[in-house]
Amino acid sequence: MFLKRKRKIMGNLQILSLLIFSFFLSKCYSKQEDFVQCLSKYSKTNVTHNIYTPKSPTYSSILEYAQKNPRWMNSSHPIFIVSPTKESQIKPVIRCAKKLGLQMKIKSGGHDYEGISFRSKTPFVMLDLSNLNKIKIDLNEGTVWVQAGATLGQLYYAIAKKSNVHGFAGGVCFSIGTGGIISGGGLGTLMRKFGLAADNVVDARVIDVNGKILNKNKMNEDLFWAIRGGGGASFGVILAWKLKLVPVPEKVTVFNVYKRLEGNHNLLTKWESTAHQLPDKLLIRVIIQNDGTENDKYVEVIFQSLYLGPVDELIPLLKEKFPEFDLDKKDCFQEPVVDCSNRPCIKKECRESSWIGSVLYFYGRRTNESLEVLLEKSIPTQKNYFKATSDFVKTPVPESGWEMVEKMFLEEERPQMIMEPLGGILDEISESEIPFPHRKGNLYNIQYLVNWGDNSESISSQKIRWMRKLYKKMEPYVAKSPRSAYLNYRDLDFGTNSEDYSYSKAKKWGEKYYSGNFERLAKVKSEVDPKNFFRYEQSIPPYHTDS
């Protein structure tokens, strides 16, 4: 009797679930029809060429390309992808999304660690800006206009084709979109000399909640401040940036020196105390990861560097500051040195190249590889799933901390810590100059990553638990009050907006990213988008003192 009753209840629940799902689908189809009709009414051109629904043949490939971290392939997807080819096509999208109560997510082509631009719990439209990728360089003025859908690779390629003595202070991963990385700050190999990507913005084009296109002269000063490091998608749609090009020498030098973490804690501590004080022409970052064989697994430390000058200038500086690297001029003009006559192996590689060669090198390519690599847009056949988070460090981590890291890394297959020194010009820029506050007093930032190839629930849950455990164990060694983080390595574990988009609740995660700048960002939000149309899981909420 009990079993029959249980089966009946289960059957009723299945029917109810099916009805709810059918109702949701019917609502989505209704929204789709209404949205197309609305766009047709307000658009001057035929919009159907730029709209993709789940039934469109290319919908899946556009969505898959957008998901650089494909953990959410089975999550809720947009009822529409709109891929405008002209800036004027965006205004009707905003107007119709507002009219129909649809959320709009903005995708400029970048990595989007937590997938917030292509998934949502409510029906939404994804605005895909990848077709807006024009780049216009003015070498006389030393500037470049780049549309937000262009990748860093496309920008770097365009600069390199025009000049071998100009560069841009952008990020390492050149597959990321310029719209996102710059609006989040933009750490990179040139930051100690020239600042962040956002520090080098001289103008911008933004479309606001009313569909108006604004440049620096037409937008208020606070909005221009907010979009340079405060996450542009909270305030409008970033259409384009005008960026300052930076001077780079014809010859730069890059190198990697590989060491085991075991036995080199002192060298790592020396790097922590020294790297932020080196001449601003020299950046030495550290990558910690696993290496070796199954029978001889160990934690590896890679010292990876860019020097803005030739080998002849670099070597004497390294002999003085880091003789432990044992790097000689000859190492830069021969195949990488691997000496395993004694254990552990000594591995080092060095190259003199152009600035664009260094861009390729830091992305794991050869310095002399074809520049066409920068334009690659293929979807990887081998999926890499990952979880990431970040910290900033103000005092060197003691040996006990590195011992903990080594122990935890040996328990995991594909973990990474990428640590980039600050200092240089970053110390001279006020923490309130733009929303990115992590300036003087910070030695370096840490990006934590764990990667895996099987996205089953059991595997992904285990990897994420490991990451959360490492993050918790690092707490005694990193910046405090608040424990800080970098916006472009976004982590939803810090907290998310609930339906009320409360300012007081958002402070929990907002002050991690922006410190004392969070309040000003919320006040800008109240001014330019008071009804909170541009919203997502960690968007800036409007400022409310009574919330």
Per-residue pLDDT at 206: 98
In a domain, 512, yes or no: no
- Nearest 5°: the CA angle 156, 157, 159 is 65
Comparing 19-28, 118-127, 473-482, 536-545, the range with the smallest average pLDDT is 19-28
In a domain, 21, yes or no: no
Question: 238 with 268, same domain?
Answer: no
Mean pLDDT value of segment 375-381: 79
In a domain, 16, yes or no: no
Separation CA 95–CA 99 (nearest Å):
6
Mean pLDDT value of segment 269-291: 97
Instruction: Supply the CATH number for residue 223's domain.
Output: 3.30.465.10
- Asked whether the predicted pLDDT for residue 74 surpasses 80, the reply is no
Per-residue pLDDT at 546: 53
More confident residue, 437 or 176: 437
Q: How confident is the model at residue 108 (pLDDT cuts 50, 70, 90)?
A: confident
Instruction: Record the tokens describing residue 364, joined without a space.
Output: 């794991």
In a domain, 291, yes or no: yes
Q: How confident is the model at residue 17 (pLDDT cuts 50, 70, 90)?
A: very low
Question: 115 with 165, same domain?
Answer: no
Question: 65 with 122, same domain?
Answer: yes
Q: Give 217-267 pLDDT, tens digit per residue.
A: 999 999 999 999 999 999 999 999 999 999 999 999 999 999 999 999 999
Give the residue numbers spanning the domain of 40: 34-128
Query: Which of 412, 447, 475 is the last residue before a domain boundary?
Result: 475
Look at the alpha carbons of 396, 401, 402, 405 in this order and tell me if their dihedral is positive or negative: negative
Instruction: Supply the CATH number for residue 51's domain.
Output: 3.30.43.10
Question: 208 with 104, same domain?
Answer: no
Separation CA 206–CA 241 (nearest Å):
9
Mean pLDDT value of segment 412-434: 97
Query: Which of 128, 145, 179 is the last residue before a domain boundary?
Result: 128
Question: 118 with 154, same domain?
Answer: no
Tell me how many domains the chain contains. 3
Per-residue pLDDT at 356: 98
Question: 212 with 189, same domain?
Answer: yes
Question: 320 with 301, same domain?
Answer: yes
Question: 239 with 155, same domain?
Answer: yes
In a domain, 13, yes or no: no
Per-residue pLDDT at 25: 41
Mean of pLDDT over the chain: 90
Report the predicted TM-score, pTM, of the whole model to 2 decimal places. 0.92
Question: 307 with 422, same domain?
Answer: yes
Spatial contact of 543 and 464, defined as CB atoms under 8 Å apart: no
Q: Give 205-220 pLDDT, tens digit per residue.
A: 999 999 999 999 999 9
Taking alpha carbons only, the member of 412, 508, 391 closest to residue 464 is: 412
Q: How confident is the model at residue 341 (pLDDT cuts 50, 70, 90)?
A: low
- Asked whether the predicted pLDDT for residue 22 surpasses 70, the reply is no
Separation CA 205–CA 54 (nearest Å):
31
Mean pLDDT value of segment 134-157: 97
Separation CA 329–CA 529 (nearest Å):
56
In a domain, 302, yes or no: yes
High-pLDDT (> 90) share of the chain, %? 75
Question: 285 with 401, same domain?
Answer: yes
High-pLDDT (> 70) share of the chain, %? 90
Query: Which of 218, 247, 276 is the last residue before a domain boundary?
Result: 247
Cα-based torsion angle of the residue sequence 178, 181, 184, 188 in order, rounded to the nearest 10 degrees: -120
Per-residue pLDDT at 16: 44
Question: 189 with 315, same domain?
Answer: no
In a domain, 144, yes or no: yes
Mean pLDDT value of segment 111-139: 91
In a domain, 404, yes or no: yes
Per-residue pLDDT at 340: 61
Q: How confident is the model at residue 342 (pLDDT cuts 50, 70, 90)?
A: low
Q: How confident is the model at residue 179 (pLDDT cuts 50, 70, 90)?
A: very high
Per-residue pLDDT at 335: 85
Q: Give 492-536 pLDDT, tens digit per residue.
A: 999 999 988 999 999 999 999 999 999 999 999 999 999 999 999
Mean pLDDT value of segment 314-333: 95
Mean pLDDT value of segment 19-35: 54
Question: 153 with 57, same domain?
Answer: no
Instruction: Supply the CATH number for residue 420's domain.
Output: 3.40.462.20
Cβ within 8 Å of residue 74, ≥6 positions away? none
More confident residue, 547 or 419: 419
